[in-house]
Amino acid sequence: MKNRREELENQLNRSALWAVTYGDLMSYLMIFFLIMFSFGIAKRSATTQQKKYKETLMSIQKVFGGKTSSEDLERLKKRENEEKVADKLKEMSPNMQIEMKDKKVRLLLPELVLFDSGKADLTRQARNLIAQISEQLKGIPNEIDIEGHTDNVPIRAGRYGTNMELSMARAFAVVNYFEQLGIPAQRLAGIGYGEFHPVADNKTPDGRAKNRRIEINYIRTE
């Protein structure tokens, strides 16, 4: 009788092993959905996403008995600083648009703010604004890409023969002025796209005005 009881208990214990596996599976699924939720299933600001990422990272590491590495904390700190700079840049000019993306922060400045028509010399207003932008970008070590863009109306007179040349000259003008203001040259890059990356319809005056722009991008920490 005793042997039968022990054999029955052993069979029951073996049968209950599935519950352990099932419990582990449920834990992993909970962690997975927590990560998915924190990374933007619902729309939220970049700052909130960063906070959620930090909380989720620490929660997961706590579950598994680990600690937040110094590399993870440093990365989070850099991302937060990038967002603070973006918030300050938003306050500078109503004519400047800021786009927060996962891999970069983009500043869009229309031609009217920076250059006279058909020219690549920065206006006094442009120099003042770029100087303010420069002060903020000096506070972070990120690489900075400057893009020049135009509309598709052919150039018929003046110093530059094509829209590509004009866009490259304008991008270089911004790069050069950033360097004069103290941003290291190794952080800077410039490129001209001419009319080939429009953001609006070139068939309308308003669309062409939007396409004539400079984009200043600082690359985010990965």
Residues 58 and 147 grouped into a single domain: no
Host domain of residue 194: 74-222
Residues 91 and 18 grouped into a single domain: no
pLDDT of 16 reads 54
pLDDT of 208 reads 97
Predicted model pTM: 0.72
- Angle between helix 163-180 and 124-137 (nearest 10): 60
Sheet of 144-149: strand order equals 97-100, 104-110, 213-219, 144-149, 188-192
Domain end call among 68, 92, 127: 68
pLDDT of 41 reads 47
What gap in Å lies between CA 140 and CA 85, rounded to an integer? 8
What gap in Å lies between CA 161 and CA 163, rounded to an integer? 7
pLDDT of 25 reads 66
Residues 40 and 137 grouped into a single domain: no
Q: With a cut of 50, which residues of the chain have pLDDT below it? A: 41-43
The residues, any chain, with a CB within 8 Å of residue 49's CB and separated by 6 or more, are 38, 39, 40
Residues 154 and 44 grouped into a single domain: no
Domain end call among 21, 42, 68: 68
* pLDDT tens per residue across span 50-99: 555 555 556 555 555 555 677 878 888 899 999 999 999 999 988 899 99
pLDDT of 168 reads 98
**CA gyration radius for the chain?**
27
Beta bridge partners of 188: 144
DSSP 178-218: HHHTT--GGGEEEEE-TTSS-SS-TTSHHHHHHHSEEEEEE
Q: Do 147 and 214 meet the contact criterion of CB atoms below 8 Å apart?
A: yes
**Alpha helix locations (H) across the chain?**
2-15, 17-38, 46-63, 70-90, 111-114, 124-137, 163-180, 205-211
Residues 128 and 215 grouped into a single domain: yes
pLDDT of 74 reads 87
**Residue 213 belongs to a domain with what CATH number?**
3.30.1330.60
pLDDT of 10 reads 58
Residues 57 and 94 grouped into a single domain: no
